[in-house]
Amino acid sequence: MVDSGQADLILRGSPPPQVEPWLIQKFLANPRLGTIQHHQRDYQRAIQMNLAVPPFDDIHVRKAVNYILDKRALLDAHGGDLTGIVMTHYVVDSLEGGALSGYRPYATPNDMGSLELAMKEMSLSRYDVGHTGMCSAPACKRVLAVTIPIGQAPFAQLYGGFPHLGEVIAGQLSQIGITLDVQSSRSMSDMSDHPEARIPLNLTLGLGANWPTASSSFTFDFTSDAVGGSLVGASPAQLRDWGYSVTSVPNIDSRIDQCMHSRGRQAQCWTELDVYTMEQLVPVAPYVTENVIDVVPSRVVHYSFDQSMDEVALDQIAVRG
């Protein structure tokens, strides 16, 4: 409808691309038609690992997962450079003022993953029985992993959606001996953040924030008051009640509480905790920060993006009469 002049904007609160690629290319080829606006969505995708399920109770396995990920391939499977950027740490950059924009704790050439680095890390794990760089224990085989269902957005129709991302990730993890049983049903996806479900991996976890600081990210994902799919913060009693064989998992409540009460240096405290999370905790393997893409026709003479809502600021739009 934008193409025919019947509409001025496409409002679609979905994963990118929110606009059909053919329309994007048409506007890029003829600037007189209008402009392409793309902004970070303050939302990223990551693999979430359950620290109470073998082999992900071993930090070396979790680090190896971060090293093997070909983030460039995952970005391409998401729709390419217009749809997002490679992400390398837990908190989106905008919530930290870009303080960690160059931070790459699991850096690999061109963000394409490194079999060498992943195997080196895996060789330190007790699940690499022969210390050959491969996850060889029974716990490494046919690991249950869930994704968001396919859906109806352009991402699903054009690129296979989240189930395809799951297939790509499964192929990458198989290089270090971790084979996956990928499930993409709505029921499995809905259970991925329930500790009692004992799901080892969520391959398409969405990480965002509902407050313009990192506080909401940490308190929502990693406190004992809100134990999620990573199981970080769970007590030994909870682990026992939920049927886990692992008897303890990390707890960072004191670190979060310290940041919540750090007057004058709260931003720095959250940034330091982000680094700690990626290097000492490692419950996630981030790979993409998503964009919002808008096709803006030339008849729209004023456009503004509302970062807090991840969409066009409708009260700031002006259209030529």
Q: Band the pLDDT of 82: cuts 50, 70, 90.
A: confident
Domain boundaries, the chain: 21-319
**Mean pLDDT throughout 24-52?**
90
Q: 321 versus 53: which is more confidently predicted?
A: 53
* pLDDT exceeds 70 at position 12: no
Is the preceding peptide bond at 149 cis, omega within 30 degrees of 0?
no
CA-nearest of 148, 120, 147, 144 to 134 is: 120
**Cα R_g (the chain), whole angstroms:** 21
- Average pLDDT over the chain reads 91
CA distance to 17, 149, 301, per residue, from 264 (Å): 39, 43, 41
- In this predicted structure, the answer to whether residue 4 has a pLDDT above a threshold of 70 is no
Which phi and psi angles does 148 have, rounded to 5°?
A: -65, 145
Give the per-residue pLDDT at 94.
85
Nearest CA-CA partner of 13 in 305, 314, 309, 318: 309
Model pLDDT, residue 6: 64
Output the pTM of the full model. 0.91
What is the CATH class of 21-319? Answer: alpha beta
pLDDT (tens digit per residue) in 232-285: 999 999 999 999 999 999 999 999 999 999 888 899 999 999 999 999 999 999
Contact 222, 233 (CB under 8 A): yes
pLDDT at 294: 85
Which pLDDT band, with edges at 50, 70 and 90, does 3 fall under? Answer: low
Distance CA 38, CA 11 (A): 13
Instruction: Give the pLDDT score at 86.
Output: 96
pLDDT in tens, 137-187: 999 999 999 999 987 677 777 778 899 999 999 999 999 999 999 999 989
